[in-house]
Amino acid sequence: MVRRSAQLGLALALLASACQGSTPPPAVRTSGCPRCGGVTQAGALPRGDLDECSGVVAGGTHPDVLYLHNDSGDGPRFFAIGLGGALREELDVAGVEAIDWEDVARGPCGAGDGSCLFFGDIGDNDRERDGYAIYEVREPDALGGASRALTAAVIPIQYPDGSNNSETLLVHPVTGAITLVTKVKDDEASGVYELAKRPGPGVRATLVNAGAILPPAGSERFTGGDVRADGAGVLLRTSTHVFFYPMTPDQTVAQALAGMPCQMPVADEEQGEAVAWLPGGWDYVTIGEGKQAPIHRVSCEAP
């Protein structure tokens, strides 16, 4: 009902604009976009168990590292690799479940200090789960040592309108606010839901419906995203396209996603789900599923 109401509201707004004699805005921005080159292959995922990459994010403590995890069917673990794909370490997360991990984000730790990784157990293809969880793990100080398990702070969440399937987890780099974008069936708008602050220990937080979004081209199903570390914009991807949504310092992620995006270069990937900004510039990487999947890199300059 919420999605259909959002679609109806969008349609009525466009109709009102047409009746007033104005032209609806173009589907994508034609100015103010990053200037990008073509897609190159930076490397490939290492041999081994990382065979169904569902989420990726660049490190903060270790800017030369990508953190990745598998899709549903794997345990509560993640992998640290170099930007070219060399395995740095495999890490377990102790005492948590991995029902359907779908995305990873990086942002400020809830305690207010340091860099944390957020793993979204938010997948629900059949839309039958009662609740979901986000696991907050402090980014390791060092990598490459003995096998170990890291602890996680658990953030239990639920939607205000029942069950939803999501593959996109976004964390604001300053406020730490959490945003989810749902993955929908064809001809539906995705829901945008936000959690402004962490709930108390053991409390299940109810997300707030913060709008609806449709990709301007290609597949209608969002499969991943990432917020720039400086808060200047958001990348969202589908299996066919990548879009950049500019963001100002005073905006929430949901407000940025309500704006008009730029269409960005992307490789033709098998089951493309993962996208992440790289530190220190405007480059980003995308990765599809599969054994030794290519790591694709796009080099861009600031808008």
Model's pTM, two decimal places? 0.91
What is the number of alpha carbons within 13 Å of residue 27 lying toward its C-beta? 7
Q: How far apart are CA 173 and CA 192, in angstroms?
A: 18
Q: What pLDDT sits at residue 54?
A: 97
114 CB neighbour count, 10 Å cutoff: 12
On average, the pLDDT of the chain sits at: 91
CA 47 from centroid of its chain's CA atoms: 25
Domain coordinates of the chain in residue numbers? 35-301
> Measuring CA to CA, how many Å separate 10 from each of 82, 88, 135, 258, 280?
43, 46, 34, 11, 37
> Buried b / exposed e across 163-196, counting CB within 10 Å, b at 16+?
ebbbbbbbbbbeebbbbbbbbbeeebbbbbbbbe
Encode pLDDT of 144-176 as tens digits.
987 789 999 999 999 999 999 999 999 999 999
Write out pLDDT tens, residues 186-204.
788 999 999 999 998 889 9
Residue 17 token pair: 């604009």
CATH C-level class of 35-301: mainly beta
Mean pLDDT of 114-126: 97
Short-list 82, 87, 151, CA closest to 119: 151
Decide if pLDDT at 14 tops 50: no
Residue 3, pLDDT score: 37
CA distances from 75 to 42, 132, 213, 247 (A): 27, 16, 31, 35
Side chain identity, residue 76: P
CA 185 – CA 172 distance, rounded (Å): 27
Summarised one tens digit per residue, pLDDT across range 189-247 is 999 999 999 998 889 999 999 999 999 999 999 999 999 999 999 999 999 999 999 99
